[in-house]
Amino acid sequence: MRVFGEITGIPEGSEFENRYYLSQYGVHKPLQAGISGSQTEGADSIVLSGGYEDDEDYGDVIIYTGHGGRSQVTGLQVSDQQLSHQNLALALNCQQGIPVRVIRGYNHQSIFSPSEGYRYDGLYRIADYWRAQGLSDFFVWRFRLIKIDKLVDLVVVNEDQPIYGKPKRVETMVQRIIRDTALSSYVKKMYGFRCQVCRVEIRTNTGLYAEAAHIQPLGMPHNGPDILPNILCLCPNHHVMYDFGGFGIKDDFALIGIDGKLFRKAKHIIDCQYLQYHRKHFMISD
Amino acid sequence: MRVFGEITGIPEGSEFENRYYLSQYGVHKPLQAGISGSQTEGADSIVLSGGYEDDEDYGDVIIYTGHGGRSQVTGLQVSDQQLSHQNLALALNCQQGIPVRVIRGYNHQSIFSPSEGYRYDGLYRIADYWRAQGLSDFFVWRFRLIKIDKLVDLVVVNEDQPIYGKPKRVETMVQRIIRDTALSSYVKKMYGFRCQVCRVEIRTNTGLYAEAAHIQPLGMPHNGPDILPNILCLCPNHHVMYDFGGFGIKDDFALIGIDGKLFRKAKHIIDCQYLQYHRKHFMISD
């Protein structure tokens, strides 16, 4: 049985001499694979051990490169990675809010690595994932892991009364974080809080609700700009679908993957380079 | 002009002798009101100053009581609070991810208060809000404020290359966090990832997407249980609407506020007490 979250009796910072002990204690079961998981349940743990040239480790934030496409002989990337198997497992973590245990190995190139053996470094959530051209030019899947702040991110489920600041038994975690910028409000008002794909109006006790979606995402590594030509007004359903590559938008605003065409006000100029970026990095096939 | 977020030159921890200086420095403009904001733009700051009997202060988490319904003579709660004006402003913060400056006053009953004057204690997000029976039996609106973790919660927008761990200019923030539990996955599979309200299927590059919604929310102060009779499978649109009181569910599963009836598998027993809790605490009118 796959155990998600913390392993009882193994606190963060625990050190292990080698992969055999990591496996025996249930922290990371496979002896070779970097990702432990299945594409129906999600991933329960990963080991950072210097296998992939593209990993980036900022401590509380890790850009992790998916599995596959490497030569078994040379270890070099020789073909595109697919969003399947262990990679799909990590993607499921992202969508379903499943935490993953992170273990750093001595051979991982990072100032955060232990000098010997392996160290369990706590739970991370998968904030997002995308397809990128790796250092070797082949497509890889990349996953952004963010360390879980126990107080803020986790829901504490207790038999007794839960008390703030004293998490006891951690069962659950965050999943999807919607970003908002100063311009978001402007775009939503421009469309009267109606989705540019399906025109739905979402009514709540605070009035109409919509989300502003950045076509090319903000922040590293996408660095999409927070400007009007890069923002859409979407309902939550189409926002989820767009972020997770469920549909794309052609340069003429026809939709790919679903029927229809993007509704657009004449004064809302959308820059095609952002639509292209999204198609390249978030759609499985263009 | 209303300034949201940090005030240039006023770092967290800045102290002010009185409300006049708070106002002059633009940290909290109104001299009397506890909430600074408008119901079209949101709230930019609040002062905790012991006015309301129902406030609870856990430091990084604050349960803040809304405005209104108090006697101007005695200061006691004499009627129900409405989700309008300053309260609606705070609700907008929640839905649109707008940060609010929190100032604690010497007269606020909390171990976190300064012993004299007023202190700017940083940015908080409004995690959620609900209607509750206050200590004086009248309905009040309550808002859960969570201190913003700059590294994790904020999107950093820079003119130069953004660098992890070194936030420079903070423009935006989190908005909606979807919680997930071990049971969530079970409920979603039971319904084939189709919404129990509209039956929609949301397709993404990872397969079908749905969200598990707790009818009576988890965690303080709602303390809904993480059990099957308290969970629904919803699409993101209906999840947002349900969480924000856009519709309710009668004991016979007819929908209130929108047409239709909740789709329910025979083996999915839903406990009416949770539906009642939701109607009471999240709908503007039952």
Amino acid at B154: L
Residues of A in contact with B211 (CB under 8 A): 175
User: Does domain A15-153 correspond to CATH entry 2.60.40.10?
Assistant: no
Kindly state the average pLDDT of the residues B147-170.
45
Give the start-to-end residue ranges of the domains of chain A: 15-153, 182-282
Residues of B in contact with A205 (CB under 8 A): 83, 91, 244-246, 282-284
Report the share of chain B in percent with pLDDT over 90.
46
CATH (residue range B15-172): 2.30.280.10
Q: How confident is the model at residue B92 (pLDDT cuts 50, 70, 90)?
A: confident
Helix locations, chain A, DSSP H: 19-24, 85-96, 150-153, 182-190, 236-243, 272-282
What is the pLDDT at residue A183? 80
Of A30-39, A177-186, A227-236, B179-188, where does mean pLDDT reach its minimum? A177-186
Kindly state the average pLDDT of the residues B256-284.
94
Instruction: Give DSSP secondary structure letters for A116-154.
Output: SSEEEEEEEEEEEEEEEE-TTSSEEEEEEEEE--HHHHP
φ, ψ for residue B18 (rounded to 5)? -155, 180
3-class DSSP assignment, residue B44: strand
Asked if B176 and A176 come within 8 Å (Cβ–Cβ), the reply is yes
Residues of B in contact with A157 (CB under 8 A): 181, 218, 226
Asked if B164 and A98 come within 8 Å (Cβ–Cβ), the reply is no
In the predicted structure, residue A175 carries a pLDDT above the cut 60: no
Nearest to B178 by CA among A271, A25, A96: A96
Asked if A164 and B202 come within 8 Å (Cβ–Cβ), the reply is no
Q: How confident is the model at residue A283 (pLDDT cuts 50, 70, 90)?
A: confident
Residues sharing a CB contact under 8 Å with residue A286, sequence separation 6 or more, in sequence order: A248, A256, A279, A280
The yes/no answer to whether this complex scores an ipTM above 0.85 is no
